């Protein structure tokens, strides 16, 4: 079984600054994928970034980067140059990749508020 | 390419009624998964359909059911609604390759907000 822990219920960040959202995970599967999603107040889950457990380099997608530390089982999301539109809930999720098409397991989320 | 669409977006029902929610995946995506999101329980997996077959099921009572059609569109049904079924129901689609270690990113729709009175 997989488990995702997001210890920050809420975070504040000043516009144009960088922010790190924490995510730790637990799994016994040797091959797994880690995902970050953004959920604005409208409700839609927007895919941001993916990191595979065997990827040698940390994933980056525009202003988003994933600080993947496999030994510590952490997959923190870093948002650079925060914008007001980044205010939303952020969810870390994972799924096993070798066990058929397993469902995503989500953390409880972190609410990010960007202030001007 | 159009994203995942869900209908209706909002729904109000009373206890004991039943409800059907619809999801159209991204064109070419063969897998559709359903999740329930509530403030108390967070995001929980309901079931996944691939090629008109349920491939995975979460820990929900039999009142929750679903199906997938030949065009990959999916519906989920909740019978005998309870107050606790009030939630945001999210549908997600993915390519779902049959074999190999692949990134299977799930892309979500806007959700259906169900309120049970």
Chain B's closest residue to A109, CA to CA, is B42
Task: Evaluate if residue B8 carries a pLDDT over 70.
Answer: yes
Take residue A14 and report the two structure tokens written for it. 């000043």
Q: What percent of chain B has pLDDT over 70?
A: 92
Structure tokens that stand for B104 in this block: 């299977």
Task: Answer yes or no: is pLDDT of B102 > 80.
Answer: no
Residue B85 phi/psi, 5-degree rounding, is -85, -5
Dihedral (CA of B86, B112, A101, A55) sign:
negative
State how far the Cα of A107 lies from the Cα of A2, in Å rounded to an integer. Answer: 10
Please state the rounded mean pLDDT for residues B91-106.
72
Is A93 strand, coil or helix? strand
Closest by CA to A47, choosing from A57, A56, A58, A38, is: A38
Q: Do B104 and A31 touch (CB under 8 A)?
A: no
Mean pLDDT throughout A13-28?
Answer: 97
Find, in chain B, the residue whose alpha carbon is nearest to that of A44: B110
Report residue A84: phi and psi, to 5°: -55, -35
Nearest CA to A46 out of A96, A86, A100 is that of A86
On the question of pLDDT at A103 being above 50, the answer is yes
* Res A31: pLDDT: 87
- A32-67 pLDDT, tens per residue? 999 999 999 999 999 999 999 998 899 999 999 999
**Residues in chain B closer than 8 A to A44 (CB atoms):** 108-111
CB contact under 8 A, A104 and B45: yes
Per-residue model confidence (pLDDT) at position A18: 98
Which has the higher per-residue pLDDT, B31 or A91? A91
Determine the straight-line distance between the first and last CA of chain A, rounded to whole angstroms.
41
- Which pLDDT tens digit goes with each residue over B27-79? 988 899 999 999 999 999 999 999 899 988 999 999 999 999 999 999 999 99
Q: Is A44 on the interface with B (CB under 8 A)?
A: yes
Residues A37 and A59: beta-carbon distance below 8 Å: no
- A contact residues 11-40, partner B, Cβ 8 Å cutoff: 31, 33, 35, 37
What's the angle, vertex CA B4, arms to CA B97 and CA A114, rounded to 5?
A: 110
Contact yes or no for B103 and A52 at CB 8 A: yes
């Amino acid at each position: 079984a997989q488990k995702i822990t997001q210890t920050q219920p809420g975070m504040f960040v000043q516009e144009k600054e960088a922010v790190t959202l924490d995510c730790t995970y637990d799994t016994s599967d040797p091959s797994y994928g880690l995902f970050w999603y953004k959920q604005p107040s409208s409700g839609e889950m927007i895919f941001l970034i993916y990191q595979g457990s065997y990827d040698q380099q940390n994933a980056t997608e525009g202003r988003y980067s994933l600080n993947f530390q496999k030994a510590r089982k952490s997959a923190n999301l870093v948002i650079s140059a925060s914008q007001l539109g980044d205010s939303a809930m952020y969810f870390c999720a994972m799924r096993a990749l070798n066990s058929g098409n397993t469902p995503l397991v989500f953390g409880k989320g972190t609410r990010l508020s960007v202030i001007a | 390419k159009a994203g995942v669409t869900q209908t209706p977006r909002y729904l109000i029902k009373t206890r004991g009624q039943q409800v059907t929610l619809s999801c159209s995946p991204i064109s070419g995506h063969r897998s559709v998964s359903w999740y329930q999101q509530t403030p108390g329980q967070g995001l929980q997996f309901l079931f996944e359909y691939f090629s008109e077959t349920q491939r995975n099921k979460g820990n929900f009572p039999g009142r929750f059911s679903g199906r997938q059609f030949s065009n990959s569109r999916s519906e989920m049904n909740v019978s005998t609604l309870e107050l606790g079924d009030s939630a945001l129901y999210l549908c997600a689609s993915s390519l779902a390759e049959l074999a190999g270690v692949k990134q299977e990113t799930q892309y979500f729709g806007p959700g259906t907000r169900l309120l049970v009175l």
